Copies of this chain bind each other. A is one copy, B any other.
């Protein structure tokens, strides 16, 4: 009985997400859905991204959290428009939630909308929200076996940001093993090795993101 219900929810969500997608396209707006485990560094990566890009692109952020608005406050400080979604227990964002939140922005004035999903390496990968691309973060502290244990997100995402590389000397995870495991799931994945703390590797991520936005606008 359970699986048909869940399938139904996914199909309904896909329809709503496709409608969101059409609205974003009509506004010539590029949308990225950013996912990861709790504490992998989504908000930190956003802060760095905003700092590097806000003079070149008009950016909006939708912050998804189960409750509270700490991350939205951090993003507001970074100087861009932000809307908070509190899921009230739900483990992922869906098309309906984004439909509500997107109405808080003047979409035609934006170049880039970043959706920061709920911290969860499983469920967000199943729910489209109307994005052009999905991207994900894996912290080296989570271990290099994670692609094989949580494959869907690695398969669904176009880009992987391997974060906290400043901690590599102190953990057992190896970048090469992460890359080898990703290659088994998604050969086309763009991979970036960064430290949001030191700033290392951030420029490569920014260059990729800017290219995505430019290509979508053509």
Whether A212 is near chain B, meaning CB under 8 Å from some CB there, is no
Report the count of interface residues on A (CB-CB < 8 A).
Answer: 36
Contact across chains for A151 and B66 when beta carbons are under 8 A apart = yes
How many subunits of this chain does the assembly comprise? 2
- Say whether A70 faces chain B, with CB atoms less than 8 Å apart: yes
Point out the residue from B39, B118, B143 that lies within 8 Å of A146, measured CB to CB: B39
> Are B167 and A70 closer than 8 Å at their CB atoms?
no
* CB closest residue in chain B, given A143: B39
CA–CA, A206 and B167, complex, Å:
28
Binary per-residue interface labels of chain A (81-104) against chain B in the complex, 1 for a CB within 8 Å, 0 otherwise: 000000001010000000000000
CA distance A191 to B213 in the complex (A): 46
Residue A131 at the chain B interface, CB threshold 8 Å: no
Q: Which B residues lie within 8 Å of A199 (CB)? A: none
Q: In the complex, how many angstroms separate the beta carbon of A6 from the nearest chain B beta carbon?
A: 9
> What are the interface flags for A158-178 relative to B under an 8 Å C-beta threshold, 1 for contact and 0 otherwise?
000000101100110000000
* A residues whose Cβ falls under 8 Å from a Cβ of B: 2, 5, 9, 37-39, 65-68, 70, 89, 91, 118-123, 126, 139, 141-143, 145-146, 148-152, 164, 166-167, 170-171
